[in-house]
Structure formats: structure tokens, C-alpha cells
């Protein structure tokens, strides 16, 4: 069998070129772009198909050698939510098939779709092109609905049905962790032999140890500040409110800490958080902690690494994460993480070694964990060293190599099924 030369990646609802932390852009955007880059480094050309969200976007963009992003016109450029996107699947799929038809037969060796909407298009392309479909869920409706955040809305039945269809159609399903693999099997009836675990990575050139004092000076923070950082999209699922409520408890217990406490919230409203974009600021005012909370718009990866390095700890209180790239990125800078003991965060963070995992989302329990890291210097130094060690176990190069193995497995599975 010839080696894989070219892969069509489908990321319909969000472009890998979008700024993470805005709109629907987040960890999946980073995943798609970084994986595509690393596959290209290993000699596999990658075409990423995503829906155009602005008329000014060029039809084709080549952000890196071997990586091409296709901005597909499907529906109005702005104003469509993920709930409305299924209505554009046919148009998007038609344009993807048309792009492939302009090339010689057998142009793509494989389709890799990301998120269930893309999987619907990927299934059609698989059958039309006669190539295997590899699918990454990233998040799953049944998992999200089982752990719904306060004030959030459940994922619709149409998404659940769509995910079940994609699970049935894919030759291989990529899970971020062993837990996600088990959820695919138990909740969606996936055949175990078609589920492969591939951990996401981290760019260890960008997210690396920095001098903490220098990072704080660059960001306008005091060198002796106690910095509790949240980074990510502001929406109920990510639970930044949990951190704010815990900070209010923390200040009631330790009022002397107020003078040097800083709580940066780095990111923008997203998803259901767009319905009440000012709600987190209103909560800070209600809790009486506006003086310690700092809202920072989404920043570049390089500046985000600086924020991580400047932090005393990074809080990841999400109700669910398929993996939790923020946790790995933060640890790669040598900053410990306090995270909810949910989903992929239990893989990303080693409790007591690189950070602390918190059961539940109660403010008192979260305040307990924050206090431990803030006040126990010996523990914090140990966690900082453990964070660096933990992050070194994850890299995009390893992710790409493992993904290529999965691609070969998918090709074998397709040919075996056709025999």
C-alpha cells in the first residue's frame, strides 16, 4: 500500500485560523492547526475545509508549507449559530466534493473530520471518494448533557442523533483519552476495535518555562502578586464563575490577601455565554471582588504563554473537557493547575504531582484547593516541578506520529471491510 500523501481535514463550524478564546474558537482550533502542521512536517499534505464567516476571507490560505485552508461559502457569513449550521451541511458538502473533483481521481487518501457537523460531511466524502473516514468528536452531547453547568442549555436531540450516525459511519474514531474511548463505546455503541486513543499535544517551543518575575513585569503585575488565572472561552461549560465564587470565599477567609490578589480572566464570551456577555462582570460586582478581577481579551499564543508563566496557578473548573489543552499549556510553562476532576482533565493533570484535582464545583471546596497552593510554598514548588515533567509527556510531534498510525489502521480497516 502506498504511503499516505494527502489528507482532507474537515472543520466546518470553526476555522483553525480563528483566534482561540473568541466565538466558537478554542482547543479544537489549536488541535486542527497544530496536527496539520506536524503532519505536513512528516510529508503529508493537509487540506482543511472550513466554513467562511466573512466575505473578506480569501478562498484559499496557505498558513504553512503543506497546509492549505479552504474557506467554503455555505450560508450567510455571519450570524449563524452552531444550532443553525445543520441547515448548511448540504451546501458545504457540495463545495467540498466540488473542490476534490477539480483534481485527479484519488487526490485524497483519507478524510479526518472534527466535531459531529464535520463528521456528517466526512461520511459523505468517504463514500464518494472511496477513502477511510477518521473522526474526532472533541466533545459529545451525551457527555455534556450528563454534566450540565448551571444556567446552560442541553444539547439538542438532533446533535445526539447526528453523533450516533457519525460513530456508525467512521472507520476509526479518535479519542483524546481512555475515558473518552470508554464513553464512545458505552454511550454511543462504538465498536471497540474502531476506537483509537491519541493524546493531544502542546507546542513546547511556545509554552515553555519563563522567568516569572519578568513575565509579571511585562504584563503589569506586581512581582509579589498572588495570580489566579482563568484562560478560555467565557461560557457556563468552562465555569469561570466557579473560580470567582471561590475567590470570594478565599477573601472572606484571608482578607489580608486582597492587596496582592489578581484574578485575570483571559478570553471572550462564547456559545451560550453570548446570551449574557456581561454576566461574569456582573457576578464579580455582586461578589464584591471587582477590585481583584481583571478581564483580558483573547490573546495570541505567545502572550498566553506569558500569562500562564506569570500565574501562581491556573484554574480549569470546567464541567467537562474532552482533554483540556489549557491545563497542559499552563503546566508546560511550569505553572501548576487546579482543575475539576472531570473528563480528560484527569489525564492532563496528575493530582498532587502537577496540580490538584477538585471533586465538584462548590466554592468552599475550590477555595480549599486554591489556599493549599497559595500558602504551602513547599507544595507549590513541588507542583511547579511536576507540571514541567507532566507537560513533557505531551507534544504535537508525538500526536502526529500516533495519528499517522491511526490513519494506516483506518486504511487497513476499510480495505478489510471491502474484501
Does 321 appear as a known binding residue?
Answer: yes
Question: How many whole angstroms separate alpha carbon 360 and alpha carbon 2?
Answer: 50
Interior angle at CA 283, CA 280 and CA 289, nearest 5: 105
Does 152 appear as a known binding residue?
Answer: no
Nearest CA to 136 out of 163, 108, 161, 109 is that of: 163
The CA-based diameter of the chain, rounded to the nearest angstrom, is 72
Beta-carbon contacts of residue 261 (< 8 Å; ≥ 6 apart) = 225, 226, 228, 247, 250, 251, 292
Does 267 appear as a known binding residue?
Answer: no
- Phi and psi based region of residue 324 (left: phi greater than 0; alpha: psi -120 to 50; beta: remaining): left
Does 29 appear as a known binding residue?
Answer: yes
Best CATH choice for the domain 212-393 from the list 3.90.950.20, 3.40.718.10, 3.90.660.10, 3.40.50.2000: 3.40.50.2000
Under CATH, which architecture does the 6-201+396-418 domain have? 3-Layer(aba) Sandwich (3.40)
Does 238 appear as a known binding residue?
Answer: yes
Does 364 appear as a known binding residue?
Answer: no
Does 26 appear as a known binding residue?
Answer: yes
- Stretch(es) of the chain classified as CATH 3.40.50.2000: 6-201+396-418, 212-393
Does 20 appear as a known binding residue?
Answer: yes
Beta-carbon contacts of residue 177 (< 8 Å; ≥ 6 apart) = 197, 199, 322, 323, 343, 344, 346, 347
Instruction: Find the helix or strand (DSSP H, E) in which 230 lies.
Output: strand 226-231
Does 233 appear as a known binding residue?
Answer: yes
Does 235 appear as a known binding residue?
Answer: no
Does 19 appear as a known binding residue?
Answer: yes
- All three cell numbers of 372, joined, read 493549599
Does 317 appear as a known binding residue?
Answer: no
Are 373 and 380 within 8 A, CB to CB? yes
- In 222-243, which positions are buried (b, 16+ CB within 10 angstroms) versus exposed (e)? eeebbbbbbbbbbbbbbbbbbb
SS (H, E, C) 38-63: HHHHCCCEEEEEEECCCCCCCCEEEE
Does 159 appear as a known binding residue?
Answer: yes
DSSP class per residue in 160-175? HHHHHHHHHH-SEEEE
- All three cell numbers of 2, joined, read 502506498
Beta strands in 119-194 (DSSP E): 133-136, 172-175
pLDDT tens for the 419 residues of the chain, in order:
789 999 999 999 888 888 766 566 678 889 999 999 999 999 999 999 999 988 889 999 999 999 999 999 998 887 777 788 888 999 999 999 999 999 999 999 999 999 999 999 999 999 999 999 999 999 999 999 998 877 788 999 999 999 999 999 999 999 999 999 999 999 999 999 999 999 999 999 999 999 999 999 999 999 999 999 999 989 898 999 999 999 999 999 999 999 999 999 999 876 544 445 588 999 999 999 999 999 999 999 999 999 999 999 999 999 999 899 999 999 999 999 999 999 999 999 999 999 999 999 999 999 999 999 999 999 999 999 999 999 999 999 999 999 999 999 999 877 766 54
Amino acid at each position: 500500500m502506498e504511503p499516505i500523501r494527502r489528507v482532507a481535514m474537515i472543520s466546518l463550524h470553526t476555522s483553525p485560523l480563528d483566534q482561540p478564546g473568541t466565538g466558537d474558537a478554542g482547543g479544537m482550533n489549536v488541535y486542527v492547526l497544530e496536527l496539520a502542521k506536524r503532519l505536513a512536517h512528516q510529508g503529508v499534505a493537509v487540506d482543511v475545509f472550513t466554513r467562511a464567516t466573512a466575505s473578506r476571507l480569501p478562498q484559499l490560505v496557505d498558513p504553512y508549507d503543506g497546509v492549505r485552508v479552504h474557506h467554503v461559502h455555505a450560508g450567510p457569513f455571519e450570524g449563524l449559530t452552531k444550532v443553525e449550521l445543520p441547515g448548511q451541511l448540504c451546501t458545504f458538502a457540495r463545495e467540498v466534493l466540488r473542490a476534490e473533483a477539480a483534481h485527479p481521481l484519488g487526490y485524497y487518501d483519507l478524510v479526518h473530520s472534527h466535531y459531529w457537523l464535520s463528521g456528517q460531511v466526512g461520511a459523505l466524502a468517504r463514500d464518494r471518494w472511496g477513502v477511510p473516514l477518521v473522526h474526532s468528536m472533541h466533545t459529545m452531547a451525551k457527555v455534556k448533557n450528563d454534566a450540565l453547568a448551571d444556567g446552560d442549555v442541553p444539547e439538542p436531540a438532533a446533535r445526539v442523533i447526528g453523533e450516533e450516525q457519525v460513530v456508525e459511519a467512521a472507520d476509526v474514531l479518535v479519542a483524546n483519552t481512555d475515558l473518552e474511548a470508554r464513553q464512545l463505546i458505552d454511550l454511543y455503541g462504538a465498536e471497540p476495535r474502531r476506537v483509537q486513543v491519541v493524546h493531544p499535544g502542546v507546542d513546547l517551543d511556545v509554552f515553555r518555562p519563563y522567568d516569572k518575575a519578568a513575565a509579571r513585569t511585562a504584563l503589569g503585575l506586581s512581582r509579589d502578586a498572588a495570580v489566579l488565572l482563568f484562560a478560555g472561552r467565557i461560557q457556563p461549560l468552562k465555569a469561570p464563575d466557579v473560580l470567582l465564587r471561590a475567590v470570594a470565599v478565599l477573601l472572606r477567609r484571608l482578607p489580608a490577601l486582597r492587596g496582592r490578589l489578581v484574578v485575570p480572566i483571559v478570553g471572550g464570551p462564547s456559545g451560550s455565554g453570548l446570551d449574557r456577555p456581561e454576566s461574569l462582570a456582573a457576578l464579580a460586582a455582586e461578589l464584591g471582588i471587582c477590585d481583584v478581577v481583571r478581564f483580558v481579551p483573547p490573546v495570541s499564543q505567545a502572550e498566553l504563554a506569558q500569562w500562564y508563566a506569570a500565574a501562581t496557578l491556573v484554574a480549569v473548573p470546567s464541567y467537562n473537557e474532552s482533554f483540556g489543552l489549557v491545563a497542559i499549556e499552563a503546566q508546560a510553562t511550569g505553572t501548576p493547575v487546579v482543575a475539576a476532576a472531570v473528563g480528560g482533565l484527569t489525564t492532563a493533570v496528575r493530582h498532587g504531582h502537577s496540580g490538584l484535582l477538585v471533586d465538584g464545583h462548590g466554592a468552599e471546596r475550590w477555595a480549599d484547593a486554591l489556599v493549599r497552593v497559595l500558602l504551602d510554598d513547599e507544595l507549590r514548588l513541588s507542583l511547579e516541578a511536576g507540571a514541567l515533567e507532566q507537560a513533557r509527556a505531551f507534544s504535537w510531534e508525538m500526536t502526529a506520529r500516533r495519528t499517522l498510525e491511526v490513519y494506516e489502521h483506518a486504511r487497513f480497516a476499510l480495505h478489510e471491510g471491502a474484501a
